[in-house]
Structure 1
Amino acid sequence: MRTYIHEMAKRKDLLIYLVMSGLKADNRDSYLGYFWWLLDPLLNVLVYYFLVVVIMGRGGPDFPVFLVIGMVVWRWMSTVINSSTKSITKYASIINQVYLPKSLFPVALTLTQMFNFIFGLVVVAIFLIAFGVVPTWRLVLLPLIIVIQLLFLVGISLMFGYISVFVRDIDNLTKHIVRILFYASPIIWEESRFPIPDGLEWLVNLNPIAVILGAYRDILMYHVNPNFLSLFIIGILSFFFILIMLRHYYKNEHKIIKAL
């Protein structure tokens, strides 16, 4: 296990290359190029603002800020979940020729989308300025929340990346999982505006996505401390889950090669 992690560290140049190539590939054939990193979350916000505020008549004066934070954070999560199923299989030709720690590919995917997320924070900043929301000193907690979300998504990416090597149908399943998570998490709805039916409170209380979303909104929008205990639990569990997955990769590298 220690040898495997050391081997991953030796391949840091490859990791950087995968991240950079992933950033370039995302918008390689588009006219607007990297501008889509800003335009895509903005268009998502406009679509759901029209649905919730104009069509359903819900929301409030601070709803655009609430919505943009949710959509930008969710974009990182949903893209990682959907793309992680192909994070290893699409490099099958390279993996079959050269020995590489297979876990590098899901990790690279998550880091690539993290950089896209950071650009999305520019959109969040624009909305904060436009609606007169001035973050307090709690803004210094932002890197901590990003790191916890990164750990959480690396674990998910490693899991789906590994499973998809042996069960290719998982790619179709994750699309439905993402849809369920979207509506089960307070991304476009807020409990105070959309009361949760009795017996379903656990969807928020035990939902790590809801905790992470709430943490971003707490420090950027509501000017209160996030739920440190819940964030700590998510971070610790994610860290140990990553170690478990790396150990699993280490023991089954030969099986991955055979399956590819």
Structure 2
Amino acid sequence: MRKTKSHMLEVFFAKLVFNLKSETKKTHLRYIWWILEPALFVAVFYLVFSVFLNRGTEDFLVFLLCGKIPFLWFSKSVANSSNSIVAGKGLIHQIKIPKPFFPLLVVAQDFVKQLFVFGFFFVFLVCYGVEITGNWLYMAPVIITQLLLIIACALFAAAVTPFIPDFKFIISTGMMLLMFGSGIFYSYKEMLDERHQELFLMNPLADLIKNYRDVLLGNMPPDMQSLSTISVVSVLVIVVMGVWFSKKDTVYARVVIQ
């Protein structure tokens, strides 16, 4: 049993390194594209809201970065994971492999790329003039909480899509709604009545974005209670999905190979 787990970990990390290298070889900019892609998204939003609509404030660029970068990480990881089991049918046909292997591999790939993005983001903030304080250490629990949320959502999306292929289109639509409902380019405190703000923050991604801004823009600790709630719920979903995949392992093999 231990040998099997050890072997799967070796396969996982070997596949992770191979996929990352393979992805960079598909573009001329290679690793730079990991940073350039989110930068282009942010540039478009900044141009529209700050320049064309003249809705931006003095720190709007940093405000936008604190929202768009976490959102892109979440949306891309979940969307990419949704079809991961189906895409891995070649490997499933060859060997017996736990089905969570595939969405977790996608999440791991995107997490490695996101670390580069966060690194560049922090350097940009320093160059922009944002003061580095001890509160920046709180970024660790915020990032870890988002990672747990991503794993939970990725496992769920990957579990559903083989049975309902159109679910990946629902995810795309849902991400669009989530983008407008998470306060990426607006302040929920300014846009919403005080009685609706608590309801708004029930969206875990909106809550995480608020915590990113509290740490980096507000120079204050995040709401540890909300981070704990999101983490606990995410871990529970991960456990439930693990049990589900364990019980339905052979079913996924049949569905995917057919």
After the TM superposition, which of the residue ranges 205-214 and 126-135 deviates more from structure 2?
126-135
- Answering whether residue 50 of structure 2 is matched by residue 53 of structure 1, we say yes
The equivalent residue for 1:169 is 166
Letter in 1 for 2:204: P
**Letter paired with 1:188:** F
Q: Is the 8 A contact 1:38 1:123 kept in 2?
A: yes
* 1:128 maps to which of 122, 125, 129: 125
**Residue 184 (structure 1) aligns with:** 181
Q: Tell me what 2:72 maps to.
A: 75
Deviations 1:23-50 (A, max 9, x none): 2243332111110111112111111001
Alignment check: 8 A CA contact 2:162 2:252 kept: yes
Matches within 5 A, 1:12-51: 12-51=9-48
Q: 1:238 to 1:88 in 2, by over 3 A?
A: same
The 3 A distance-change label for structure 1 pair 200 and 7 is farther
Contact 1:215 1:227 in 2 (8 A): yes
Task: Give the drift of 1:225.
Answer: 1.2
| Amino acid aligned to 2:187 | E
Instruction: Return the letter of the residue paired with 2:213.
Output: R
- Where do residues 176-255 of structure 1 align in structure 2 (5 Å cutoff)? 176-193=173-190, 195-196=191-192, 201=197, 204-255=200-251
DSSP 3-state at the match of 1:32: coil
Q: Larger deviation: 234-243 or 114-123?
A: 114-123
Per-residue CA distance 1:207-250 (angstroms, 9 max, x = gap): 10011112222112211111110100000111111000000000
Does residue 256 in structure 1 map to residue 252 in structure 2?
A: yes
Quick one: which amino acid aligns to residue 247 of structure 2?
K
Quote the residue 1:149 is aligned against: 146
- Partners of 2:148 and 2:235 within 8 A in 1: yes
Alpha-carbon distance between aligned partners in 2 of 1:241 and 1:119, rounded to the nearest angstrom = 28
Equivalent residues of 1:70, 1:213 under 8 A apart: yes
* Alignment check: 8 A CA contact 1:135 1:219 kept: no
Alpha-carbon distance change, 79 to 159 in structure 1, aligned in 2, over 3 angstroms? same
Distance 1:203 1:75 in 2: 23
CA-based RMSD of the aligned residues comes to 2.0
Structure 2 gaps, min length 5: none
Distance in 2 between residues matched to 1:203 and 1:39, nearest whole Å = 34
* Shift in Å, 1:180: 0.6
**Which whole-Å CA distance do the structure 2 matches of 1:238 and 1:218 have between them?**
22
Q: How many residues align?
A: 256
Change (3 A) 1:201 1:140: closer
Taking structure 2 as the reference length, the TM-score comes to 0.92
**Offset of 1:259 from its aligned partner?**
0.2
CA apart distance, 1:6:
9.3
- Please give the TM-score of this superposition, normalised by the length of structure 1: 0.92
Shift of 1:201: 3.5
Tell me, which stretches of 5 or more residues in structure 1 are unaligned? none
The residue number in structure 2 matching 1:101 is 98
The answer (yes or no) to whether the contact 1:89–1:165 under 8 Å persists in 2 is yes
Do the aligned partners of 1:185 and 1:209 also contact (CA within 8 Å) in 2?
yes
Tell me if the contact between 1:81 and 1:160 (Cα under 8 Å) persists in the aligned partners: yes
Q: Secondary structure at the match of 1:96?
A: helix
